[in-house]
């Protein structure tokens, strides 16, 4: 059954749900530029760090990358970054479809052998490590080994380390210079601008069949500020605001209603 608030606005689906197909992601020029830089780096078999505040759309950029990449790459996505070194390699094995071996050395060996085989198939392996700011110290200490192959003349794979801005701080410490110096492309996703936020709301409403403005200009500005330009907070607050407006049987999210929603969100936090 369609929830009452969706029916109220005649929306086909929840407009700000995280369930959005790769092909339907919204890519303004700022995000397209990041995707293109990733494609270029991976085409050169380089490794990358990608940072940004929570909810600014890092993981969605990885999904847009998956959609954008043509053949020739084998992407492996890992978001369980809290494992110790041995379990980390075991997980890498599983993700690559290999039988995990018992010791770290054996796991490392099967990973490298498999990656060599991919090379023969002309597939470049790309290992996407999301939430990489949480990586175990042991794992970070070892990662540069994956990027040193055939006397450091080739990379076995491209690493894409994705995380909060503290990842960049952590990697730039002297201790990690072997790894950091091998991450030639260093990208940052900035929060949305106020104009982006307005467009984002429009695009996501359009996807569920609504081309009317449901947010007043004032409300968009307030929403943008409260969310600090982060998609996830925009999604959450915009959804609460639409529900509240539907409950009051109104048609537009205006300043006063949004202020209430923001107050309630602050109280609940
Ligand atoms: N390009 C996009 N198009 C449409 N929706 C998006 C886009 N980017 C982000 N979103 C929305 O914002 C939510 C949060 O985005 P995402 O998970 O990519 O953020 P993140 O930067 O990876 O956050 P975290 O640091 O918490 O992992 C998504 O679930 C989605 O609803
Ligand atoms: Mg994420």
Encoding tokens for residue 215? Answer: 């947010």
Residue whose CA is closest, atom 11 of ligand 1?
231
Task: Please identify, by atom number, the ligand 1 atom nearest to the C-alpha of residue 62.
Answer: 18
Residues sharing a CB contact under 8 Å with residue 125, sequence separation 6 or more, in sequence order = 73, 74, 76, 96, 115, 118, 156, 157, 158
Judge if the beta carbon of residue 163 lies within 6 A of ligand 1: no
Residue nearest to atom 1 of ligand 1 (CA): 26
Q: Each residue of 223-265: pLDDT tens digit?
A: 999 999 999 999 999 999 999 999 999 999 999 999 999 999 8
Q: Is 191 in the pocket of ligand 1 (CB under 6 A)?
A: no
Query: Is residue 6 within 8 Å of residue 13, measured between CB atoms?
Result: yes
Tell me what pLDDT residue 102 has.
Answer: 67
pLDDT of 252 reads: 97
Token pair 């790459």 is found at 73
Q: Do domains 24-188 and 192-268 have the same CATH topology?
A: no
Q: Which of residues 183 and 147 earns the better pLDDT score?
A: 183
Q: What's the pLDDT band for 152 if we cut at 50, 70, 90?
A: low
pTM of the model: 0.91
Confidence label for 161 from pLDDT (cuts 50, 70 and 90)? very high
Say whether pLDDT at 153 is over 70: no
Length of the chain, in residues: 269
Alpha-carbon dihedral of residues 21, 24, 26, 31, nearest 10 degrees?
Answer: 70
154 bridge partner residues: 149
Query: Does 231 sit in the ligand 1 pocket, CB within 6 Å?
Result: yes
How far does residue 169's CA lie from ligand 2's centre (Å)?
A: 18
Higher pLDDT, 104 or 39: 39
Does residue 232's CB lie within 6 angstroms of at least one atom of ligand 1? yes
Which CATH number does the domain 24-188 belong to among 3.40.50.720, 3.10.129.10, 3.40.50.300, 3.30.1490.100?
3.40.50.300
Rounded to the nearest angstrom, the distance between the alpha carbon of 7 and the centre of ligand 1 is 26
CATH number of 192-268: 1.10.8.60
> Ligand 1: does its nearest atom lie under 6 Å from the Cβ of 134?
no
Residue 231 CA to ligand 1 center (angstroms) comes to 6
Q: Which residue has the higher pLDDT, 106 or 119?
A: 106
Q: By three-state DSSP, how is residue 14 classified?
A: coil
Question: Residue 151: its pLDDT value, please?
Answer: 61
| Ligand 1 pocket check for 25: Cβ under 6 Å | yes
In a 13 Å sphere around the CA of 1, the CA atoms on its Cβ side amount to 3
Percent residues over pLDDT 90 in the chain: 67
Any atom of ligand 1 within 6 Å of the Cβ of 202: no
Q: Where are the domains of the chain?
A: 24-188, 192-268
Mutate to test the pocket of ligand 1, among 23, 35, 49, 55 (most ligand atoms within 8 A of CB): 55
From 28, 57, 202, the mutation candidate for ligand 1 (largest count of ligand atoms within 8 A of CB) is: 57
State the Cα–Cα distance between residues 264 and 38, nearest whole angstrom.
Answer: 39
Nearest to 226 by CA among 199, 251, 256, 261: 261
Three-class secondary structure of residue 129 per DSSP: strand
According to the model, what pLDDT value does residue 70 have?
A: 80
- Residue having the nearest C-alpha atom to atom 30 of ligand 1: 18
User: Which of 89-98, 103-112, 149-158, 186-195 has the weakest average pLDDT?
Assistant: 149-158
Task: Provide the pLDDT confidence category of residue 18 given band limits of 50, 70 and 90.
Answer: very high
Please tell me the distance from the alpha carbon of residue 202 to that of residue 215, in angstroms, as a whole number.
9
> Mean pLDDT in the chain?
90
* pLDDT the model gives residue 162: 97
């Amino acid at each position: 059954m369609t929830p009452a608030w969706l029916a109220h606005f005649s929306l086909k689906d929840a407009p700000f749900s995280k369930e959005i197909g790769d092909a339907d992601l919204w890519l303004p020029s700022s995000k397209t530029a990041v995707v293109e830089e990733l494609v270029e780096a991976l085409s050169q078999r380089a490794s990358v760090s990608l940072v940004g505040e929570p909810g600014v759309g890092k993981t969605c950029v990885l999904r847009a990358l998956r959609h954008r990449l043509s053949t020739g790459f084998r992407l492996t996505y890992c978001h369980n970054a809290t494992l110790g070194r041995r379990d980390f390699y075991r997980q890498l094995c599983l993700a690559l479809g290999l039988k995990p071996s018992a010791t770290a050395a054996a796991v490392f060996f099967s990973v490298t052998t498999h990656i060599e085989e991919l090379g023969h198939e002309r597939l470049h392996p790309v290992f996407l490590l999301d939430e990489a700011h949480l990586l175990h110290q042991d794992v970070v200490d070892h990662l540069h080994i994956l990027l040193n192959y055939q006397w450091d003349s080739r990379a076995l794979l491209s690493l894409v380390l994705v995380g909060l801005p503290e990842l960049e701080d952590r990697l730039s410490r002297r201790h990690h210079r072997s790894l950091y110096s091998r991450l030639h492309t260093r990208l940052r996703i900035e929060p949305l601008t106020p104009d982006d936020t307005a467009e984002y709301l429009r695009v996501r409403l359009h996807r569920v069949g609504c081309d009317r403005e449901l947010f007043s200009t004032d409300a968009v500005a307030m929403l943008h500020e409260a969310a600090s330009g982060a998609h996830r907070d925009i999604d959450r607050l915009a959804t609460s605001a639409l529900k509240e407006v539907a409950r009051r049987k109104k048609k537009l999210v205006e300043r006063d209603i949004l202020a209430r929603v923001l107050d309630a969100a602050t109280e609940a936090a």
